[in-house]
Structure 1
Amino acid sequence: MEIEKSILDKVNIWLSPVFDSETHNAIKEMMTSSPKELEESFYKNLEFGTGGMRGIMGPGTNRINKYTLGKATQGLSDYLKISFPGEEIKVAIAYDCRHNSDTLAKTVADVFSANGIKVFLFSELRPTPELSFALKYLNCHSGIVLTASHNPPEYNGYKVYWQDGGQLVPPHDKEVINIIEALPYDKIKFEANESLIEYVGDEMDKAFIQSSLQNATFNTPQEAKNELKIVFTPLHGTSVKLIPDLLEDAGYSNVHIVAEQAVPNGDFPTVKSPNPEEPEALSMAIALADQVNADIVVGTDPDSDRLGVAVRNGNGIMTLLNGNQTMVLMTHFLLEQWKKQGKLKGNEFVGSTIVSTPMMMELASAYNVECKVGLTGFKWIAKMIVDFPEKQFIGGGEESFGFMVGDAVRDKDAVTSTLLLCEMAAQAKANASSLYQELLKLYVEFGFYKEYLISLTKKGMDGAEEIKQIMNGLRENPLKEISGLRVVMVEDYLASTALNLFTDEKEVLNLPKSDVLIYYLEDGTKICARPSGTEPKIKFYFSANEMLNDVKNFKAVETALDAKIKNIIEAMNLI
């Protein structure tokens, strides 16, 4: 195949003496045996998405390697010096169980130290939320996590955090990216100043566990804790470093860990994908739960920022909850606890995202608490805490199985959320209820919101173009009717406009630009389309709702909502 000149120009730069012989040899091998792979490796530069910079490991500008991460770190170092002149700049670095995460983390630490920046590097793999906590605990200016979350084994990634403990947001993100893109590879300083690198571990673990205990325990009687049977799986990831100790310190002794998935392993050998959104990922945990008659199953993704949950339904069968359901349950529990403790003063808020369940608005309204809604990605919820210092943050979540309890951590936190869920489950069981029954009660009180997600995978350069064309088509030929239901409103977050199709009135959306389209139908159904910021996918989110006047009618209403969503999906030719 013929390779474009622009790609060959990049390849030739990577064959210069700036890059090592291992890189040269790998590129030459691709040139002769796999020109398509060479094209995929160089056709663009890795971009910062909703979860930082994430990609396949290997040589090239579109790959995760010592040079792409070295360049990002050099650019960040230069920006930190501009942002904090005259200060002793400090950064924290953590990494997960993925292949090369430890060596890449050391490379990142080397570049920071070579630039005269003090580095706190975790001595072993640790959960992502602990990095956010450590950054604030150590008064650092920035932080890095080497992780690709739940992506396949060939991936790794680079998440950047700022002084507040949250991920990079405007204006810092764009300013850092501009510096990185303008930086030549020969300007990367790889020679470490080892005296500036300090290793951290056990002391930080203890501090983080203590913080989780403070934020996620709510006077659950010890007897209730003893009665709760828990199955936990880290899915070969980092949470095994903290969650067993956290649950023990909190008084939960009846914990069963899935032994086959308890050892960190970047190959994730027992699952197709270490993604708690996928039912298959928790199949071994559910089998163990049935064996020991557990009440709740919790599984975390490799870097332990997201969690999947299964509970027993009304027939005693283990049932997976989706991210919207766990978010609603946890938010309601926190609101109720704050109310009982007299902590609701009128200046509190919870956080959510534009693709998550509208039920969050109903919950917040019932407690006279504001629900702030941001773009997809937890960095926007963390930014709310910074932007509104006069307001008290209670908690917040997003549909993709992430939740944050309080503001000690400024990112989604499966560690603290696991403890919160156990507190909720223990109290429910002690009151002759369950998390499943509590969810149905919420549907009766606030309306039954049913959500569904379709993810279409489109890999590589051709896939990226296909995703672009799908979004362009939706913009150029906007849907005015779907499955017999009229479209009332179209929100285009790339154009920052909300158009009422009934009145032709157009409003300005006050969130940052993002490649997202949301359709609102006349019956309250919500449909969202967006390309993933971390995976080669385009995602379609569906939310339909009906009143539920009695728990006994749950199945009938659920069946009707499922049928409605199915008809909409068929009308949009998505299946």
Structure 2
Amino acid sequence: MSLLPASEVAAIAEKVSDLTTRTHLQEWYGMDKRKQTQDELKAIVDKGDMDELKNRLCKRLAFGTAGLRGNMGAGFNRMNDVVVLQTSQGLCTYVLKSLGDMAKERGVVIGLDGRHNSQRYAHVTAAVFLSKGFKVYLYLKTVATPMVAYATKARHASCGVMVTASHNPKIDNGYKVYGDNGAQIIPPVDEHISECIMANLNQWEGVDQLLDANTGLLKDTSKIVDLYDESVGSYMTEIPKDLARKPEATAKSNLKIVYTAMHGVGYPFVSQIVEKFGFKNLIVVPQQRDPDPEFSTVSFPNPEEKGALDLAMALADKEGSPMVIANDPDADRFAAAEKTKDGKWHIFHGDELGILFGAYQFQAFKEKGLPASSMLFICSAVSSRMLKKLAETEGCRFEDTMTGFKWMANKSMEVRNKEQFEHLLAYEEALGYQLSEKVADKDGVSASGVWVEMACELYAQGKTVHDKLDELRKKYGYFVTNNAYFLCYDPPTFKAIFDEFRNNGQYKWQLGKFKVTAIRDVTVGYDSTKPDKKCTFPLTATSQMVTLTFENGATLTARTSGTEPKLKWYSEMSSSDPAKARVELQEVVDAVIKDIFQPEKYGLKKP
């Protein structure tokens, strides 16, 4: 690991005619010490692909509330050692400005998943903080993302960093940031960190001396504190205290459940947590048990994607198990499937899991003697209203937030800091569930423990999870959903689509045969239902999010993804006739696609 000689950089730069691109190329080679990325950029120059070169050098990988996430490779618009170093310097500067020198003693928690380069990026991050005298808590082994959120909060650290791209494809990696409260950062913190990054692009003195020139890893790990055993041990004690109610009964269950870690980091943590809950019959998919950065057996390492659970369901069939549970590769999401009475597998969608967790938590806390009026439920605006119906019916507190656990976790803390409420569940339909306030983020590990306990209880009563879901629908109503997305790799196109619908404030109030009765446009801060027409959600000017309410009772939220090239929609109707509602909801979605999304005009692609 060393800089290219100046003569070689000059020879490469000569081939680049655009002055701005050439300047950024020279800046890049003035910092990049890794031969792999040096050669990668040189190959692009030699090929003469100036558009690709500009994309990599003249743009920066944007830092936002999700931190960083993108393709790994050479250039300022990719995930690599240089960008991670610059980001860490910016984060370190922000923390010192915000908390002062006390931040150094409180320290930083750093974790890593099993992806390509995750260990390197974590060690670069550690070196930056060490160079400024911080106490650094670095997991030296791969770790589930919830462990970093847990440790950041439990230790009251100044911040946390998890190197992961969650369920993204293998070419991606990311850099997730937690604030000193253990939750993901929210605006304007991301903007302040971004400003600090831009003010600290040049490498600090003292960082290089801490990193091995050949491996890019810390030369001396005695300078850090390895949190793994202590933190995981603490988690495995504290979370069951909160959530495991019937370990003795669970231990008697004959139910067999198949688990897949999806080539990620979840297995060591899920196998421990289910044991703490009393469960002894976990069968693990061997091909997907251990971290594999190639994700060899799946096209996409996301439990939501078609085919992702095929190996697990095949093993369940072989073992005579009626149930499969899964995590995504960093184990912050949770998925489940159950064999129905007709012998087919049903993969629960996120909202079904949400109401099942919500109802189970309500039952458990009610059995503890907790009054319903002190129970808190939270879900995001794109999730089903069924949880809200449960809360209203039972007399619990319900809060609605923007999309993302950064909003839900912070809202939970905000409510509980003002009043005496018990956090029961925060969830999002994209398989994210926070069941304990001790982890201020979605947590697929604790969700696995609660799920196996719930399943064992139901099967002991002669019921399936589907039976329970049917009971809940009869009690709280049938909520039919239609959620999907289009792909688009040109971000300005998303803005153009939504701006056409806004029409400078003259929104479309008729879509096909369906009348729109309310519009909430979070991007511009408009809400037609409020007397002052102002949305109560925080503005999201850098992303797009609009919610439509129709005269027939249907709702549809359209939003752009913060981490993927997707235009997503989430729609729902509540009805006593679910079959009829599905047909009508599809018609609503078709009208929105035709009149707002206009896929042919804007070049949107189906997945």
Q: TM-score range by the shorter chain?
A: over 0.9
Contact 1:120 1:199 in 2 (8 A): yes
Match of 2:199 in 1: 182
Question: Any idea what SS the aligned residue of 2:309 has?
Answer: helix
Residue 356 of structure 1 is matched in structure 2 by 383
Q: How does 1:385-534 map to 2 (within 5 A)?
A: 385-388=412-415, 389=417, 390=419, 391-459=421-489, 463-476=490-503, 478-499=507-528, 507-514=533-540, 515-534=544-563
Task: Indicate whether 1:122 and 2:151 are aligned.
Answer: no
Match for residue 85 of structure 1? 100
- With over 3 angstroms needed to count, the CA separation of the structure-2 counterparts of 1:427 and 1:483, relative to structure 1, is farther
2-structure distance, mates of 1:402, 1:298: 14
Q: Is the 8 A contact 1:220 1:426 kept in 2?
A: no
Using the size of structure 2 for normalisation, the TM-score is 0.87
- From 230, 233, 236, give the equivalent of 1:209: 236
> Paired residue for 1:25?
39
- The answer for the alignment partner of 1:12 in structure 2 is 26
Of the three residues 207, 218, 237, the one matched with 2:264 is 237
Take 2:341 and 2:245, find their aligned partners in 1: how far apart are those partners? Answer: 26
Structure 1 residue matching 2:266: 3-state secondary structure: helix
Contact 1:395–1:405, Cα closer than 8 Å, also in 2: yes
User: Residue deviations 1:247-303, cap 9 Å, x none?
Assistant: 223221211111111121011010000101113111111111222222321111110
Q: Indicate whether 1:320 and 2:347 are aligned.
A: yes
Q: Is there any run of 5+ residues in structure 2 with no aligned partner, and where?
A: 1-14, 211-219, 600-605
Q: What SS does the corresponding residue of 2:321 show, helix, strand or coil?
A: coil
Q: Alpha-carbon deviation of 1:345?
A: 5.8
Q: Which moved more, 1:47-56 or 1:97-106?
A: 47-56
- 1:7-55 CA-partner distances (Å, limit 9, x unpaired): 444333213x333363443322212224343233234221234532101
296-305 or 34-43, which moves further after superposition?
Answer: 34-43
The answer on whether the counterparts of 2:554 and 2:585 sit within 8 Å (CA) in structure 1 is no
Q: Name 1:108's counterpart in structure 2.
A: 125
Decide whether aligned partners of structure 1 residues 291 and 443 sit closer, same or farther in structure 2, where only a CA change above 3 A counts: same
Residue matched to 1:365: 392
Q: Are positions 1:378 and 2:405 aligned together? A: yes
Instruction: Give yes or no for the alignment of 1:297 onto 2:324.
Output: yes
Deviation of the 1:341 alpha carbon: 1.4
Aligned partners of 1:544 and 1:565 also within 8 Å: no
Higher relative contact order (CA 8 A, sep 6+): 1
Equivalent position SS for 1:273: coil
Tell me the secondary structure at the aligned position of residue 507 of structure 1: coil
Task: Tell me, in whole angstroms, the C-alpha distance in 1 between the residues paired with 2:96 and 2:223.
Answer: 16
Q: In the comparison of the two structures, how many residue pairs are matched?
A: 562
Amino acid at match of 2:122: A
Deviations 1:488-513 (A, max 9, x none): 1111101111125xxx9652112211
Contact 1:164 1:386 in 2 (8 A): no
Aligned to 2:569: 540
One-letter code aligned to 1:451: T
Deviation at 1:485, TM superposition (A): 1.4
* Residue of structure 2 equivalent to 1:133: 150
Q: TM-score, normalised by structure 1?
A: 0.92
Query: Which region of structure 1 is more displaced relative to structure 2, 350-359 or 538-547?
Result: 538-547
Structure 1: runs of 5 or more not aligned: 549-553
Aligned residue number for residue 266 of structure 1: 293
- 2:535 and 2:69 map into 1 onto residues whose CA distance is 28
Instruction: Tell me if structure 1 keeps the 8 A contact 2:158–2:180.
Output: yes
Residue-by-residue CA offset, 1:326-380 (whole Å, 9 max, x unaligned): 0111011111211221112623311111111111211111221121111111011
**Contact 1:91-1:119 within 8 A present in 2 as well:** yes
- 8 Å CA contact 2:525–2:537 kept in 1: the answer is yes
CA gap 1:188/1:533 in 2 versus in 1, 3 angstroms:
farther
Q: Give 3-state SS (helix, strand or coil) of 2:373's partner.
A: coil
- How far apart are 1:237 and its partner, in Å? 0.2
Amino acid aligned to 2:538: P
Provide the C-alpha distance between the structure 2 equivalents of 1:539 and 1:198, rounded to a whole number of angstroms: 41
Task: Find the residue that maps to 2:446 and give its secondary structure.
Answer: helix
Report the residue type matching 1:482 in the other structure. L
User: CA distance change for structure 1 residues 153 and 3 in 2, over 3 Å: closer, same or farther?
Assistant: farther
Distance 1:375 1:289, change over 3 A: same
Aligned CA distance change for structure 1 residues 561 and 125 (closer, same or farther; 3 Å)? farther
How far apart are residue 159 of structure 1 and its match? 0.4
Q: Which residue of 1 aligns with 2:276?
A: 249
In the other structure, the counterpart of 1:39 is 54
**Shift of residue 482 of structure 1?**
2.8
Deviation track 1:166-201 (CA, whole Å, cap 9, x = no partner) reads 111234222212211232324475246655412222
Residues 114, 192 of structure 1: 8 Å contact kept? no
Partner amino acid for 1:434?
Answer: T
Query: Cα gap change, 1:341/1:489 in structure 2, threshold over 3 Å: closer, same or farther?
Result: same
State the alpha-carbon separation in 1 of the partners of residues 266 and 196 from structure 2: 34
CA distance in 1 between counterparts of 2:479 and 2:57 reads 44
Query: CA separation of 1:47/1:517 partners in 2, compared to 1, >3 Å: closer, same or farther?
Result: same
CA contact (8 A) 1:312 1:436 kept: no
Identity of aligned residues (%): 28
Distance 2:287 2:60 in 1: 38
